[in-house]
Chain A
Amino acid sequence: MAKFNLKINGSNYDVDVEEDTPLLWVLRDHLGLVGTKYSCGIAQCGACMVHINGEASYSCTLPVSSVGSDEVTTIEGLSKDGDHPVQKAWEDVDVAQCGYCQAGQIMNAAAFLKKNPKPTLEEIENAMNRNLCRCGTYHKIREAVAQAAKLK
């Protein structure tokens, strides 16, 4: 076991866990931040996406020991009142079916739009291709990302 001080959503957290514990399980099991989802555990589906210094990253394969002083943002901290342009677009377009993948989708989209505020549809598809949606909401996701780009 080792102690880590993590910067998550603007707050500091102390956790005492094994060094190889992926950030995903620190968030879910130790900090109760369960908005970040587990689905594959091998960086294939994007359900676990968080921002590390603003970069969309798979938290399921990221050992807590390598997080260091990096800023972590989870879906719970993306905005204060759930009013990030991407979250609003997700509501407007009514993207979700089961919703399980959507936190990861939103996190990926938010990081992508920050880097590329005026994307083409093709760029949106390339960026969002990292995230699986078993329910097949891909059309809606594409539409919502495009809409969020306009909202910004």
Chain B
Amino acid sequence: MEKLIKTNRRDFLKVAATATGGLFIGFYWSGCDSPKMQVLTDDEVLSQALDFNAFLSISPSGDIVIYSPNPELGQNIITSFPMIVAEELDADWSRVRVFQAPLDNDKYDRQLTGGSGAMPHSWERLRKAGATARYLLLSAAGEKLGVSANELEAKEGKIYQNGKQKFEFGELAADAAKLNAPDDVSLKDPKDFKIIGTPVKNVKNREMFTGQPLYGLDVYREGMVNAMIQRPPFGMKIKSVDDSAARSVPGVTDVVVFKNNVAVVGNSTWPLIKAKRQLRVEYEPDGAVESSFDHDRIMKEMLDSKSAQVMRKDGDVENAFKNAAQVISSEYQCPFLSHSPMEPQNFFAHVNGDKVELIGPTQTPDRARMETSQLLGIPKENITVDITRLGGGFGRRLRADFVVEAAELSKILDKPVKVSWTREDDMTGGAYRPAVRYRFQAALDENGNMIGYKLRGAGINAGNSTRENNFPSGSVDNLLIENIEHRSPITTNAWRAPITNFLAYAEQSFLDEVAIAAKKDPVALRLELLDRAKKNPVGEIHYDIERMRGVIETAAEKSNWGKSKDTMQGFSVYFSHRSYVAQVADIVMEGGQPVLKKITAATDCGIVVHPTGANHQVRGGIVDGMGHAMFTNMTFENGLPKQRNFDSYRLIRMKEVPEIEVHYVDSGYDPTGLGEPALPPTGGAIANAIFAATGRRLRSQPFIEQKEFSDIKLQIRRT
């Protein structure tokens, strides 16, 4: 399917004139046959287009304008949302132009990217937006022809009567837009979908692959200044600032101290990077100044503490453990992690009297506005937020710290300002995945049945480090889930698949330990627990037993689970963010050392709206989960991470990813999100495969730093 890529830079993205790589206007990027009709610019289309609803306008030229309200950070919602609208509209996809909508509370709700929640939230809304407009176009056509709309048919942007083309959508736009929208409108049967479920190309490919300005760091405004900020270590405040050397760097126009920040200001980036290195800032404690060493001790103490918050309690756990034939007990720990999106944090702000303009990469434009409004005492209505494409988010951009500081600095300087973070700023001024330690205990009877299960989570600023209603809750008669938290000045935040990004690994590894102790096959053990949850549910059950079983069985089948003597396999399954994912990791031994070859994933996310995007999220989630489980560590010393850039903060690279095979279970449910659910099971599948291959149980991340791993030379090879 051809697709029209527009190149509107939006008014707010005024970029310095460039000699090459100029504007590509109304250009058919991948099309070989150039269309006969005149191709309008985005501005022309936008100025003519008639609004049908918040998502959709149609221009008399036949061009379809679809607005994507949610921030785009790589989940490709900017393609998949318009696909849904276009599907129900019966649009010609090659005439669709997609625009990122600015923050607008009147038109949209839930304008945020997080929690894999956009798809379930908007699925029906988007379908209705398209279907309503289609209904109005058919009605307008019916009126013109003097027939009932029921006699007409819409297809690929045209209206037909008895198979004969009567109108193009554009010809009807003006009349149709005047009609009253019906309260109810019928939606397509999913089996009639023509756009949904097809591998439509990312609508931003052209801009991305030719280097057009798209991201927050690319924002340029006449009259704006650049700034960088030195922020304090966690738990510290400024004692003194000597900025004389920084001020003398050519290109630096100002140094401003506000709160515990020191901002260097200038007209371009490099002088600021240099000047920041020249700042002499002395800090003093402002509360607890912590190091990883302290956290290790604190988490262990919390696991032994007399009291903890009970999150869920079923049956009589004490009795079960007293009567157990066998008790298995194990502890798992993970470090803090930085989100480290490839685009470091940045934001543009212009406080102009009682008006504020904000532009940049945020996952939560609404929060950015609210916090700016609170800080400056300027009403929300006076603050606009334009959302640029995000060079990754992973949860870091759910916060608004980087927006508010830009707004505050703009007010102080009385100028439009773009605040950019260096990689070091991004890594040391983070909002990290919390460090957590878990203790799991299982009581088995003489037949190897799990009669008791205990989990205590101890986290540093982790909030609830457990997910008390997740599997295996509901399948064990006697169960106790507890949580205990240490409050630290180190800021933590949601990190892709919050909590479950580590909990799943720990729990799925522990279940592997249980299976081995019970002399059961790991897959059989999980299925047996699901059977028990079905026949004899204990307490509330928050997952769909059959969907969970579906992905387990599919992953086992597709991976030939247990069929090959030479392949050592590890199994893992997790339900999070409304989707179900099971994974199997395959290791073979070569020359006495393990080679990780493949991960097979089975996913149930309901209807797969956009297969390319879904594959990206499943594979990307697995690569992400694997990389951080295996390689990445973040340790703190006196309130600062020791890892400050990619030389010491090790991210996974191309040569370190195995083959990944992706399967979907066609459950027919409405679609659920996929930004997160594929990540949690990965670490467990790999750790369990490593155990199967080497007998070494990895109970902490990153794997490569564990002593159990020190004499293992794991290779990762796809062939």
Q: Which residues of B (573-596) have their CB < 8 Å from a CB of A?
A: none
- Which of B72-80, B160-168, B458-466, B497-505 sits within the interface? B72-80
Minimum CB–CB distance from B195 to chain A (whole Å) comes to: 15
A133 at the interface (CB under 8 A from B): yes
Measured in the bound complex, the distance between the Cα atoms of B660 and A139 in whole Å is 8
- Indicate whether A132 sits within 8 Å of B653 (C-beta atoms), given known contacts A9-B20, A98-B342: yes
**In chain A, residues 1-32, which have Cβ atoms closer than 8 Å to a Cβ of chain B?**
1, 8-11, 13, 17-18, 20-22, 25, 28-32
A113 contacts partner chain B, Cβ-Cβ < 8 Å: no
Please name all residues of chain A whose beta carbon is closer than 8 Å to the beta carbon of B21 when the two chains form the complex. Answer: 9, 33, 35, 74-77
Is residue A69 contacting chain B, with contact meaning CB distance below 8 A? no
Do A138 and B17 touch (CB < 8 A)?
no
Q: When the two chains form their complex, are residues B270 and A25 in contact, meaning their CB atoms are under 8 A apart?
A: yes
**B620-A32 in contact (CB<8A):** no
From known contacts A9-B19, A44-B645, A98-B392, infer whether A37 and B343 are also in contact, taking CB-CB under 8 Å.
Answer: yes
Q: Are B211 and A33 in contact (CB under 8 A)?
A: yes
Chain A interface residue count, Cβ-Cβ cutoff 8 angstroms = 70
Residue of B nearest to A132 (CB): B651
Query: Which residues 119-150 in A have Cβ within 8 Å of B in the complex?
Result: 121-122, 125-126, 128-129, 131-142
A99 touches B214 (CB 8 A): yes
The one of B210, B270, B652, B654 that contacts A87, using a Cβ cutoff of 8 Å? B210
Q: Give every chain B residue within 8 A of A90 (Cβ-Cβ).
A: 205, 209
Of residues 188 through 224 on chain B, the ones whose CB sits less than 8 Å from some CB of chain A are 199, 201-202, 204-206, 208-215, 217-218, 220
Chain B nearest Cβ from A128, distance in angstroms: 5
With the chains together, A28 CA to B603 CA distance in Å? 41
Contacts of B620 in A (CB 8 A): 97, 135-137
Task: Please tell me if A53 contacts chain B, counting CB pairs below 8 Å.
Answer: no
Q: What CA separation (Å) do A18 and B623 show in the bound complex? A: 41
Question: For window 217-233 of chain B, which residues contact chain A by CB distance below 8 Å?
Answer: 217-218, 220, 226
Interfacial chain A residues near B269, Cβ < 8 Å: 25, 28-29, 38
Chain B contacts with A in 241-275, Cβ cutoff 8 A: 250-251, 268-271, 273-274
A103 to B240, CA, bound (A): 42
A76 touches B342 (CB 8 A): no
Evaluate contact between A98 and B653: CB separation under 8 angstroms. Answer: no
- Max chain B Cβ within 10 angstroms of own Cβ: one of A35, A96, A134: A134
A47 touches B342 (CB 8 A): yes
Known A47-B342, A100-B342, A138-B657: A32·B612 in contact at CB below 8 Å: no
B654, closest chain A residue (CB): A138
A39 interface hit (Cβ, 8 Å) = yes
A81, A92, A96, A121: the one contacting B208 at CB < 8 Å is A96
A29 touches B619 (CB 8 A): no
B41 at the interface (CB under 8 A from A): no
* Residues of chain B lying within 8 A (CB to CB) of residue A9: 19-21
Chain A neighbourhood of B718, CB < 8 A: 121
Complex contacts, B215 vs chain A, CB 8 Å: 37, 100
Whether a CB of chain B sits under 8 angstroms from the CB of A36 is yes
Known: A25-B268, A134-B340. 8 other contacts (CB 8 A): A25-B269, A32-B16, A34-B218, A44-B646, A100-B342, A103-B209, A132-B342, A137-B616
Interface residues of B, Cβ cutoff 8 Å to A: 15-21, 24, 27, 29-30, 73-76, 199, 201-202, 204-206, 208-215, 217-218, 220, 226, 250-251, 268-271, 273-274, 340-344, 389-394, 422-423, 612, 616, 619-624, 627, 645-647, 651-655, 657, 660, 718-719
Ranked 9 nearest A-B pairs via Cβ: A35-B211, A76-B21, A32-B16, A136-B623, A100-B391, A98-B74, A97-B74, A75-B211, A99-B208
What are 6 sample pairs from A and B whose C-beta atoms fall under 8 A apart? A33-B18, A37-B343, A76-B211, A78-B210, A99-B389, A132-B342
List residues of A whose CB falls within 8 A of some B CB: 1, 8-11, 13, 17-18, 20-22, 25, 28-42, 44-45, 47, 74-78, 81-82, 87-88, 90-92, 94, 96-103, 106, 121-122, 125-126, 128-129, 131-142
